[in-house]
């Protein structure tokens, strides 16, 4: 991405909030937003202290915000004491114990579970006691590798109850990815399931977990949820079933009094190296931030049925399936399935069935469903919807318009929310009752957020000039460090603009002050909204015995947004056959997970490298994208490889 590039297409369409929506909204006008925003910037400590009062604290804080800029360390609500599960569960027991907290829709239509706040509280306390019985204490790491079932939320909340740190690994990842993450966090317990379901097929999760933990001596216990009932192999002394552990255990468990800055969870995310980064989020600041963003951006009402389609294994699931909604006492829908199984109207069917009011999904899903036209949508009554949201990657105006008119029936505002694993919660988004929408723009910063765009020279970009997006001041939800590697945290996020958080995204701010995201500027790409580090896929490819070297880049894709294009050099004497291509794709899938599968593999005798041996991905990217000009090749050790690559480029 060349941020100096000017945008070409000017989006002229405007969508003010419908009167009926505005009338009931929490924040009703741009003037109201402006005044709150200004207050949050002028007096951040006062502002955040007031918001923190929305939660229940065992003990107040000594200071709202402290910042050691040199060390890139900051704290929010220092010495304050609270417990996340207490705020998400106990606090609501008096007001509405019988309100449904989680509606779970399994992939099979007939499988539905409802958990009230009372029941969820009970399950969480019980599982917290299971962890305690196994010797788990504050600060210990628990790895959660579960499909989209209520046990995932229960396990996470149980960790927070006793102060253990959870590290949830997306169940779509395979054994190698799981192994790396367990090794890095040194988790001692793995909570997993016998299997997961995907479009009518069962996937043997336990088997994948077993392969991973062969190389993870830190793991002492494995607790297995019996979900698909596939008679998974259990190892005596190490493995036990969830339902057996939960049988006869007490449902009373006092919440641990946690310091606001105690670690809450680690969530691994892809970066520019092959090694995933463990983003560390802490207790008080994170919860205040997701609580408030959920309430105001989704304009929360007690009567809402909120459905976020993300997986709990991603930050979106952490913040807007579990912690944001539950800390507000909301009813959330958790869905195990996919949008197109058993049919392409599944999402719309589920919305109608449970009368979903707020629906939050990803542009890639919208694009995929848009292909089937309006007919699958029209089969269903979607009139319960009042608000729509998107997240994960830029949404193209065409998909935005379809979402707005066909799904929202032109009466639901869309909140296009920009944020990252690192940021904890949404940073830039419209407030739906206050802002006029422009398809493709993420609108304005949330309270307390100060975005700036720098041009190539490092100066503040002019209006409409593209550049690098940074945030100049820490907010409560920002990650505190990379687990076990504060140096990497500093290098990645704080060095480019000294003392400011660097997002690694390109953006522009238009003449009205609305923000437009222009994509990543690093070697991380978004495939169907999943963040994939190309270096991690390269190392998966190179781990195959036939591969000498690999260079992986992104190529635009109609539905996925981007897909992976891999250039692979084989070991001497090995033939690049179609069969080998399939084998390599399968290899990436089994080691990293199906989401990391390359769509294209091009065999090459050599890759473009600098004289110091660094692969120049810029050139590979230009080739994969079919650019007319691959740019400057004079710094290459051997410029002739480029012609060879161009000749065999896959259309």
Q: Taking CB under 6 A as the rule, which mask of x and - marks residues 571-600 in contact with ligand WT7?
A: ------------------------------
**Which of these ranges, 170-178, 339-347, 418-426, 599-607, lies near ligand WT7 under the rule CB under 6 A?**
418-426
Q: Judged by CB under 6 A, does residue 315 bind ligand WT7?
A: yes
Q: Judged by CB under 6 A, does residue 528 bind ligand WT7?
A: no
Query: How far, in Å, CA of 21 to CA of 28, rounded?
Result: 9
CB atoms within 10 A of CB 398: 13
Query: CA 474, 480, 485: angle at the middle one, nearest 5?
Result: 135
Q: Judged by CB under 6 A, does residue 271 bind ligand WT7?
A: no
Which of 285, 394, 413, 551 touches ligand WT7 by CB under 6 A?
Answer: 394
Residue among 293 and 503 whose Cβ is closer to ligand WT7: 503
Would you mind telling me the total number of residues written for the chain in this entry? 651
Which of 417, 441, 534, 562 touches ligand WT7 by CB under 6 A?
Answer: 417
Q: Judged by CB under 6 A, does residue 420 bind ligand WT7?
A: yes
Q: Judged by CB under 6 A, does residue 419 bind ligand WT7?
A: yes
Residue among 320 and 600 whose Cβ is closer to ligand WT7: 320
Q: Judged by CB under 6 A, does residue 181 bind ligand WT7?
A: no
Contacts of 635 (CB under 8 A, 6+ apart): 610, 611, 616
Count each helix (H run) and each strand (E run) in the chain, helices first: 22, 30
Rounded-to-10 torsion of CA 332, 172, 568, 638: 40
Which of 263, 392, 433, 445 touches ligand WT7 by CB under 6 A?
Answer: 392
Is there a contact between 325 and 138 (Cβ–Cβ < 8 Å)? no
Handedness of CA 264, 326, 430, 75 (dihedral sign): negative
Query: How far, in Å, CA of 212 to CA of 210, rounded?
Result: 5
Q: Of residues 474-503, which lie at the interface with ligand WT7 (CB under 6 A)?
A: 503
Residue among 354 and 360 whose Cβ is closer to ligand WT7: 360
Query: How far, in Å, CA of 283 to CA of 462, rounded?
Result: 38
Q: Using DSSP, state whether 335 is helix, strand or coil.
A: strand
Query: CA 145, 178, 476: angle at the middle one, nearest 5?
Result: 70
CA 623 to chain centre: 30
Q: Judged by CB under 6 A, does residue 531 bind ligand WT7?
A: yes
Token pair for 594: 């199906």
Residue among 80 and 313 whose Cβ is closer to ligand WT7: 313
Percentages of the chain per state (helix, strand, coil), in multiples of 5: 30, 25, 45
Query: CA 169, 173, 175: angle at the middle one, nearest 5?
Result: 95
Which of 517, 532, 540, 616 touches ligand WT7 by CB under 6 A?
Answer: 517
Angle between helices 150-162 and 117-133 (to 10 degrees): 60
Q: How far is the CB of 390 from ligand WT7 (least distance, A)?
A: 6
Q: Judged by CB under 6 A, does residue 467 bind ligand WT7?
A: no
Q: Using DSSP, state whether 311 is helix, strand or coil.
A: coil
Query: How far, in Å, CA of 4 to CA of 525, rounded?
Result: 19
**Which of these ranges, 92-100, 200-208, 327-335, 392-400, lies near ligand WT7 under the rule CB under 6 A?**
392-400
Q: How far is the CB of 148 from ligand WT7 (least distance, A)?
A: 16
Which of 316, 327, 562, 591 touches ligand WT7 by CB under 6 A?
Answer: 316
Q: How far is the CB of 554 from ligand WT7 (least distance, A)?
A: 12
Q: Judged by CB under 6 A, does residue 391 bind ligand WT7?
A: yes
Compute CA distances 224 → 114, 175, 190, whole Å.
21, 16, 8
The radius of gyration computed from the CA coordinates of the chain, to the nearest angstrom, equals: 24
Q: Judged by CB under 6 A, does residue 216 bind ligand WT7?
A: no
Q: Judged by CB under 6 A, does residue 269 bind ligand WT7?
A: yes
Q: Judged by CB under 6 A, does residue 184 bind ligand WT7?
A: no
Which of 188, 239, 262, 505 touches ligand WT7 by CB under 6 A?
Answer: 505
Token pair for 375: 């007919």
Residue among 88 and 469 whose Cβ is closer to ligand WT7: 469
Query: How far, in Å, CA of 462 to CA of 360, rounded?
Result: 32
Residue among 444 and 531 whose Cβ is closer to ligand WT7: 531
Contacts of 19 (CB under 8 A, 6+ apart): none
**Which of these ranges, 219-227, 413-421, 548-556, 634-642, lies near ligand WT7 under the rule CB under 6 A?**
413-421
Q: Judged by CB under 6 A, does residue 536 bind ligand WT7?
A: no
Site size for ligand WT7 (CB under 6 A)? 20
Query: How far, in Å, CA of 630 to CA of 613, rounded?
Result: 19
Tokens 């009139």, located at residue? 383
Q: How far is the CB of 44 from ligand WT7 (least distance, A)?
A: 22
Q: Closest by alpha carbon to 146, among 102, 104, 196, 100?
A: 196
Q: How far is the CB of 315 from ligand WT7 (least distance, A)?
A: 5
Q: Closest by alpha carbon to 212, among 594, 590, 596?
A: 590
**Which of these ranges, 149-157, 387-395, 401-409, 547-555, lies near ligand WT7 under the rule CB under 6 A?**
387-395
Q: Judged by CB under 6 A, does residue 393 bind ligand WT7?
A: yes
Residue among 209 and 524 whose Cβ is closer to ligand WT7: 524
Q: How far is the CB of 423 from ligand WT7 (least distance, A)?
A: 7
Q: Judged by CB under 6 A, does residue 361 bind ligand WT7?
A: no
Query: CA 529, 532, 534: angle at the middle one, nearest 5?
Result: 140
Q: How far is the CB of 419 from ligand WT7 (least distance, A)?
A: 4
Q: How far is the CB of 183 from ligand WT7 (least distance, A)?
A: 21
**Which of these ranges, 44-52, 194-202, 397-405, 417-425, lies near ligand WT7 under the rule CB under 6 A?**
417-425
Task: List contacts with ligand WT7 (CB under 6 A).
Answer: 269, 315-316, 391-394, 416-421, 442, 503, 505, 517, 520, 526, 531
């Amino acid at each position: 991405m060349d941020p100096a590039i000017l945008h070409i297409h000017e989006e002229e369409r405007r969508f003010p909030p419908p009167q009926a929506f505005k009338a009931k909204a929490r924040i009703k006008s741009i003037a109201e937003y402006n005044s709150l925003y200004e207050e949050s910037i002028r007096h951040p400590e006062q502002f955040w202290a007031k918001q923190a009062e929305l939660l229940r604290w065992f003990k107040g804080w000594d200071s709202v915000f402290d910042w050691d800029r040199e060390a890139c360390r900051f704290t929010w609500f220092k010495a304050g004491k609270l417990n996340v599960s207490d705020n998400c569960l106990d606090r609501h027991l008096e007001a509405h114990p019988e309100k449904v907290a989680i509606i779970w829709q399994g992939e099979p239509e007939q499988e539905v579970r409802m958990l009230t706040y009372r029941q969820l509280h009970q399950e969480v306390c019980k599982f917290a006691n299971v962890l305690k019985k196994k010797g788990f204490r504050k600060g210990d790491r628990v790895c959660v590798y579960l499909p989209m079932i209520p046990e995932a939320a229960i396990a996470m909340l149980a960790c927070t109850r006793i102060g253990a740190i959870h590290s949830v690994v997306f169940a779509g990842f395979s054994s190698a990815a799981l192994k790396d993450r367990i090794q890095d966090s040194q988790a001692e317990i793995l909570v997993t399931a016998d299997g997961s379901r995907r479009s009518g097929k069962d996937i043997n999760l336990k088997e994948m977990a077993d392969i991973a933990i062969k190389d993870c001596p830190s793991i002492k216990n494995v607790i297995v949820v019996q979900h698909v009932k596939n008679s998974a192999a259990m190892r005596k002394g190490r493995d036990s079933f969830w339902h057996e552990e939960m049988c006869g255990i007490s449902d009373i468990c006092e919440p641990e009094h946690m310091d606001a800055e105690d670690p809450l969870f680690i969530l691994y995310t892809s970066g520019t190296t092959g090694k995933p980064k463990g983003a560390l989020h802490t207790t008080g600041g994170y919860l205040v931030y997701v609580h408030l963003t959920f309430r105001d951006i989704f304009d929360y009402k007690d009567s809402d049925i909120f459905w976020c389609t993300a997986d709990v294994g991603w930050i979106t699931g952490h913040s807007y399936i579990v912690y944001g909604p539950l800390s507000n006492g909301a009813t959330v829908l958790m869905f195990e399935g996919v949008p197109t199984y058993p049919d392409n109207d599944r999402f719309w069917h589920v919305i109608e069935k449970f009368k979903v009011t707020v629906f939050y999904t990803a542009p890639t899903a919208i694009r995929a469903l848009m292909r089937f036209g309006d007919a699958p949508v029209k089969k269903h009554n979607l009139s319960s919807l009042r608000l729509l949201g998107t997240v994960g990657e830029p949404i193209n105006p065409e998909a935005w318009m379809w979402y707005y008119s066909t799904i929202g029936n032109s009466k639901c505002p869309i909140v296009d929310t920009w944020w990252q694993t690192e940021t904890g919660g949404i940073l830039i988004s419209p407030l739906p009752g206050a802002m006029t929408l422009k398809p493709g723009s993420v609108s304005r910063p949330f309270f307390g957020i100060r975005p700036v765009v720098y041009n190539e020279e490092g100066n503040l970009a002019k209006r409409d000039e593209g550049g690098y997006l940074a945030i100049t001041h820490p907010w409560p939800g920002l990650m505190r460090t990379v687990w076990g590697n504060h140096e990497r945290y500093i290098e990645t996020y704080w060095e480019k603009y000294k003392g400011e958080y660097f997002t690694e995204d390109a953006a522009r701010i238009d003449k009205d002050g609305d923000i437009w995201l222009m994509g990543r500027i690093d070697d991380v790409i978004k495939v169907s909204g999943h963040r994939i580090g190309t270096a991690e896929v390269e190392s998966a490819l190179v781990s195959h015995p036939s591969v000498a070297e690999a260079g992986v880049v992104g190529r635009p894709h109609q539905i996925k947004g981007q897909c992976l294009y891999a250039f692979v050099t084989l070991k001497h004497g090995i033939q690049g056959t179609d069969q080998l291509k399939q084998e390599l794709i399968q290899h990436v899938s089994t080691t990293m997970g199906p989401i990391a599968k390359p769509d294209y593999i091009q065999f090459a005798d050599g890759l473009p490298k600098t004289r110091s041996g660094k692969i120049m991905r810029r050139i590979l990217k230009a080739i994969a994208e079919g650019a007319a000009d691959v740019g400057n090749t004079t710094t290459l050790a051997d410029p002739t490889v480029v012609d060879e690559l161009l000749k065999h480029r896959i259309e």
